[in-house]
Amino acid sequence: MMAAARRPSTLIDRLPPVRGRYTANAPLDRVTWFRVGGPAEVMFRPADRDDLAAFLAACPADVPLTVIGVGSNLLVRDGGIAGVVVRLGGPFASIEPDSVRAVLTAGAGALDANVALVAAEAGVAGIEFLVGVPGTIGGALRMNAGCYGAEMKDVVSRAVALDRQGRTHEMTAADIGFGYRRSKVPPGWIFTSVTLDGRSDQPAAITRHLEAIRAEREASQPLRTHTGGSTFKNPPGAKAWELIDRAGCRGLHRGAAVVSEKHCNFLINEGGARAADLEALGEEVRRRVAASTGTALEWEIVRVGEHQSPLAAVEEAR
């Protein structure tokens, strides 16, 4: 019996040993809220912060790294993501409130809504807005997420991140350099935890405020759909949804991708859309808004990965 031919080396062969888990060709359409996108060449789920730091220190410098949380404001292109996708799961989802000092420390993988709920139960006020922010704390930090008159910059006391060499950096809000839906932290750094400053209040009062935010969000946004949240940033002195509506884009379709009728700064996958459909629809919205109002909308949803080639699409359809 002839020996099997040696398989070509894969990316996993070049990666350092870890205590967490590597998965080759990991599906991402099951992860993103849009339910679209090609696979990750390799997905890495670190066992804990030390495991992540060791991986970063030993990972070859030429290997691209992409960090994702729960894929809430992420559009993964149909060709997938080359390199390693780092997904921070349960080991990074701790939430520890301190009701005496009215502060809360959370791992970067903790859901924003869960942080708000735990803070309310502990009597830590000022963090309720996070119940209206989809995704995880790490993503909220990176983009200075906010809603209903509050942003991360208003509550961040300190944050901890690892750089591409696995070194630890402790930062204040000033160090992070928050701006509108952005921060100045280098793209290759990975947030691992944050401490938020609140104020003391009665849990019942905090919960009432939190529920009011939930109700307003439910009434105004298409939450029970495959969407990625707010698509475009608000331009200075304007609201993106008003410009989109003025340009006649409410309800605009491209295949199964559609501009929400309920809130036209949301794109929806009605079922069967590709990432290319959603991105092309977003670009058509930008084109129409620019033509009718002179304003260039900037994407708030993060688009990552490679476009699928026409040949690959034909092969997949066979």
- Known catalytic residues are 181, 230, 300
User: How many whole angstroms separate alpha carbon 189 and alpha carbon 169?
Assistant: 9
The crossing angle, in degrees rounded to 10, of helices 203-220 and 112-121 is 150
Residue type present at position 312: A
Contacts of 42 (CB under 8 A, 6+ apart): 11, 12, 15, 22, 23, 24, 26, 83, 84, 85
Tokens representing 28?
């991402």
User: How many whole angstroms separate alpha carbon 166 and alpha carbon 139?
Assistant: 19
Distance of CA 138 to the CA centre of its chain: 8
H or E segment to which residue 228 belongs: strand 226-230
Residue type present at position 245: D
Cα dihedral 278/40/4/18 (nearest 10): -170
Asked whether the CA dihedral 303, 221, 151, 293 is positive or negative, the reply is positive
Phi, psi of 34 (to 5 degrees): -75, -20
Q: Which has the closest alpha carbon to 272: 21, 106, 36, 67?
A: 36
User: How many whole angstroms separate alpha carbon 105 and alpha carbon 158?
Assistant: 9
